[in-house]
Amino acid sequence: MLIQTYKPENDTIYYASLLDFEGFQKFELEFRELLGHPPFGRLIAVYFRGEEESAVRNYADWFHQQLEPYANEAVKLSPPEPAPIERIKGKFRYMLTIRGTKLKVIRQALRVLVLHREQPKGVEVAVDVDAQSLL
């Protein structure tokens, strides 16, 4: 296998180069525990996409404001940012993440915002609970 990277010092690349699965697993689990990522916490990614960037960004900002009252010690809410892959098939993408251990109330708020509110024309919203990837 050949791996090309701009960051050869990355810990994942380091452990892969040594074929050290146990070392990688220990490192990754410690990192996940520190950040409260699964399996030590919950992670929800909310994606917004559309052809007009300002509409996507504005709706993501509004959506974030609606969720802010639910943030607390057990629920961390990040502001919306361009997704790591900012455009796919001509559509701009923004995302916000929610991390925590007690997400029942915020999940209910998400359900209302996504399923029971009309989205702005041209803006799509997707929610990924226990997200496997943040791309």
Q: Is the predicted pLDDT of residue 96 greater than 90, yes or no? A: yes
For the chain, the average pLDDT equals 88
- The rounded distance, in Å, linking the Cα atoms of 37 and 43 is 6
Map tokens 């992670």 to a residue. Answer: 43
- DSSP 3-state assignment of 131? coil
pLDDT tier, 65 (very low <50, low <70, confident <90, very high otherwise): very high
Q: How many CB atoms lie within 10 A of CB 5?
A: 9
Indicate the CATH number for domain 42-129: 3.30.70.600
Q: What are the angstrom distances between the C-alpha of 53 and each of 50, 104, 111, 118, 134?
A: 7, 31, 24, 19, 19
Strongest mean pLDDT among 3-17, 22-36, 43-57, 115-129: 43-57
pTM of the model: 0.75
Q: Which of 79, 66, 72, 78 is nearest to 114 (CA)?
A: 66
How many Cα atoms occupy the beta-carbon half-sphere of 131 within 13 Å? 19
Distance CA 130, CA 97 (A): 11
What angle do helix axes 104-115 and 53-67 make, rounded to 10 degrees?
140
Query: Would you call 65 helix, strand, or coil by DSSP?
Result: helix
φ and ψ of 50, to 5 deg: 180, 170
Q: What per-residue confidence (pLDDT) applies to 12?
A: 86
What are the domain boundaries of the chain?
A: 7-36, 42-129
